[in-house]
Amino acid sequence: TQNNAQQNLLGFEAPEVLWDSKPKPEELNLLRDIADEFSARRFNGDRDAWPEKIDDAIWLKVTNDRHGCLKSACPNRAECPFYLARDVLETVDVVVANHDLLLADISMGGGVILPAPENSFYCIDEAHHLPKKALSRFAAEHSWNIAVWTLEKLPQLTGKIAALTDKAELANLADEAATSLLDSLHEWQFHLAEEPSLSLGSSENDRRKHNEPTWLWEDGKIPEGLETTVSNTAIAARSLLKHVIGLNDALSAARREKEQDSALLDRLTSEFGLFIARIEQISAVWDLLSTVPIEGEEPLAKWITRHADDKNDYIFNASPISSASHLANSLWRRAAGAVLTSATLQSLGSFNLILRQTGLLWLPETTTLALESPFNFDTQGELYIPPVHASPKDPDAHTAAIVEWLPKLVSPVEAIGTLVLFSSRKQMQDVALRLPDEYLPLLLVQGELPKAILLQRHHQAIAEGKASIIFGLDSFAEGLDLPGTACVQVIIAKLPFAMPDNPIEKTQNRWIEQRGGNPFIEITVPEASIKLIQAVGRLIRTEQDYGRVTILDNRVKTQRYGQQLLACLPPFKRIG
């Protein structure tokens, strides 16, 4: 019945497996709506077909994975969105997928969700995003709290499976490995409690500033004295994964024989699937944390983050610092062929960065081609670099300079659209608060409204003969399409340099430095060039568009790399 479908969908039979904190009323309401619409056949189960964005955390509550899926034995297979999509794959020549789906398939060995790489030609658009997307796919993390909960509850399930499959010995081995892994995780608590970089600080201000303290293992090396603990944890996790996979195979065999209560076996399979997925995740993390690269090979990034909200937790993380070898071995060397496209595959006039980051540099048959733009940039657009003397390295002075310059650049009465792009949310909000009063009704600030509504109001204002000014961050610097009078002026507050503030970037930069390189020149400037070209690209979207790009960062004139960045921009008419 629909009611039963809802109950199972919401995880009421085993809520703790799905929820690591008490579900909010609005989350339960959304899940009820999804269940009702799916049951009434008004929703086909495709996340992209739902009218609003469904948060990742919510979507995970209603999706299954390969471990919990009953496959051909599922009574609902005929209407399962996944299998319906898979069946269509058998009959089509062209499959449209996003980067995440492609990389998920590759990380599982290829040919699991999508056709096998050997039988596929790939056309990958916006390919400048592929290296970082791949990096997040090949990384692994797990929560201490969720791991401990999973391991403590596991024996209840293994006992039920042993009774139904006559695999008591295998269940005992799984329970022993779980106990061993639990012991290791409890031992980790002592090390984590004593680690200074994970302390929360004494004052309230310290706690706010360091709300997620991080213990980064320098150069990916296991801290002295912890080698045995890391090794033992990894061995226990690997052993546990092996035994639970064995139990799952026994469960599948029992379901095929169908001599017992099939409903009970199906429910056990689904529930056990969640546990296997968690254990697989834990094992993947410890496999990486325990890995010691061969001398001279690039390190792995390894770190532990503390989450100090309503219940204290630690997140164990590990990641390669480059996705090049994974992509080269799992995709390029297997694919029938591939074409990578983007408006920003080149960086500083060269393809070197993308070739290096994707591993295509190692494939001599790779060729590159840069095509001319169809736009007449020198007649359609202008580039203006006003004499802003305040350096972005002095944030207060730079913010004051932006507040001073914007009224000179933007008319509050001309019915055109202006896009002002910031690298910092704080600076964006500070400028918005300090502009003259007549500009405030014209402002649309990213984050204060959903993107779709913000853009709707922007177009509406211009249609009504009013000026409209969008304040946006990085995500508005790319993929935003505002043709015609919707965007006649793009103002860039600051060159889009990314600070190496995450553990992967910090580990990567140290690795480059140790090899005698300069990470700022090798990584930061080339990546800023790509972002700057994307930002500037918001101005001219059609052959009829016109307008001006203004850069309020004096480093484009004062620094050598500034000249490199400018040289890569479209050949607008320079003014000022």
What three-state secondary structure class fits 336? coil
Q: Is residue 74 part of a domain?
A: no
% of the chain beyond a pLDDT of 90? 70
How many domains, in total, are found in the chain? 3
| The last residue of a domain, from among 254, 273, 308 | 308
Query: What pLDDT does 479 receive?
Result: 85
Residue 514 pLDDT more than 50?
Answer: yes
Residues 442 and 389 grouped into a single domain: yes
476 vs 269, which has greater pLDDT?
476
Averaged pLDDT, 159-171:
90
Averaged pLDDT, 351-374:
94
Distance from C-alpha of 212 to C-alpha of 202, rounded to nearest angstrom: 14
| The last residue of a domain, from among 308, 339, 360 | 308
Residues 396 and 530 grouped into a single domain: yes
Residues 179 and 272 grouped into a single domain: yes
Tokens of 270: 């689904």
Query: What pLDDT does 25 receive?
Result: 82
Contact 451, 467 (CB under 8 A): no
Looking only at the bridges linking them, the beta strands covering 381-384 and 573-575 are parallel
What is the CATH classification number for the domain harbouring 515?
3.40.50.300
Of 297-311, 355-369, 452-466, which gets the smallest average pLDDT? 297-311
Tell me the pLDDT band of 55, cut-offs 50, 70 and 90. Answer: confident
Q: Is residue 199 part of a domain?
A: yes
Query: What pLDDT does 205 receive?
Result: 45
Tokens of 7: 């109950």
Residues 356 and 336 grouped into a single domain: yes
Distance from C-alpha of 279 to C-alpha of 274, rounded to nearest angstrom: 9
Residues 523 and 494 grouped into a single domain: yes
Tokens of 448: 């204060």
Distance from C-alpha of 490 to C-alpha of 317, rounded to nearest angstrom: 39
Q: What is the 3-state secondary structure (H, E, C) of 402-429?
A: HHHHHHHHCCCCCCCEEEEECCCHHHHH
Query: What pLDDT does 13 receive?
Result: 40
Tell me the pLDDT band of 505, cut-offs 50, 70 and 90. Answer: very high
Averaged confidence pLDDT in the chain:
89
Tell me the pLDDT band of 84, cut-offs 50, 70 and 90. Answer: confident
Averaged pLDDT, 552-571:
93
Residue 202 pLDDT more than 60?
Answer: no
Query: What pLDDT does 20 receive?
Result: 58
The DSSP annotation for 257-276 comes to: HT-S-HHHHHHHHHHHHHHH
Of 28-37, 191-200, 429-438, which gets the smallest average pLDDT? 28-37
Residues 214 and 350 grouped into a single domain: no
76 vs 99, which has greater pLDDT?
99
Contact 404, 435 (CB under 8 A): no
Distance from C-alpha of 547 to C-alpha of 572, rounded to nearest angstrom: 10
Residues 464 and 444 grouped into a single domain: yes
Residues 233 and 285 grouped into a single domain: yes
Query: What pLDDT does 386 receive?
Result: 95
Averaged pLDDT, 21-43:
81
Residue 211 pLDDT more than 70?
Answer: no
Contact 259, 174 (CB under 8 A): no
How many other β-carbons are positioned within 10 Å of the β-carbon of residue 211?
Answer: 13
Of 69-73, 475-479, 524-528, which gets the smallest average pLDDT? 69-73
Residues in the chain: 576
Tell me the pLDDT band of 396, cut-offs 50, 70 and 90. Answer: very high
Q: Which residues constitute the domain of residue 119?
A: 96-128+323-371
Of 86-90, 256-260, 343-347, 487-491, which gets the smallest average pLDDT? 256-260
Residue 399 pLDDT more than 80?
Answer: yes
Distance from C-alpha of 185 to C-alpha of 188, rounded to nearest angstrom: 5
Query: What pLDDT does 338 receive?
Result: 97
Residues 340 and 239 grouped into a single domain: no
Q: Is residue 570 part of a domain?
A: yes
Q: Is residue 25 part of a domain?
A: no
Q: Which residues of 370-405 are buried (b: 16+ CB within 10 A; e: fewer)?
A: eeeeebebeebbbbbbeebebebeeeeebbebbbeb
Q: Is residue 243 part of a domain?
A: yes
Of 307-321, 362-376, 502-516, which gets the smallest average pLDDT? 307-321
- Indicate if the alpha-carbon torsion angle 105, 526, 381, 398 is positive or negative: positive
Tokens of 139: 């990384």
End-to-end CA distance of the chain: 71
Q: Is residue 316 part of a domain?
A: no
Residues 280 and 412 grouped into a single domain: no
How many other β-carbons are positioned within 10 Å of the β-carbon of residue 339?
Answer: 11
Query: What pLDDT does 112 receive?
Result: 87
Q: Is residue 440 part of a domain?
A: yes
The sheet carrying 573-575 orders its strands as 443-445, 468-472, 417-421, 489-492, 547-551, 381-384, 573-575
Going by C-alpha positions, the residue among 143, 250, 232, 253 that lies closest to residue 181 is 232
Q: Is residue 34 part of a domain?
A: no
Residues 493 and 418 grouped into a single domain: yes
Query: What pLDDT does 18 receive?
Result: 61
Residues 415 and 512 grouped into a single domain: yes
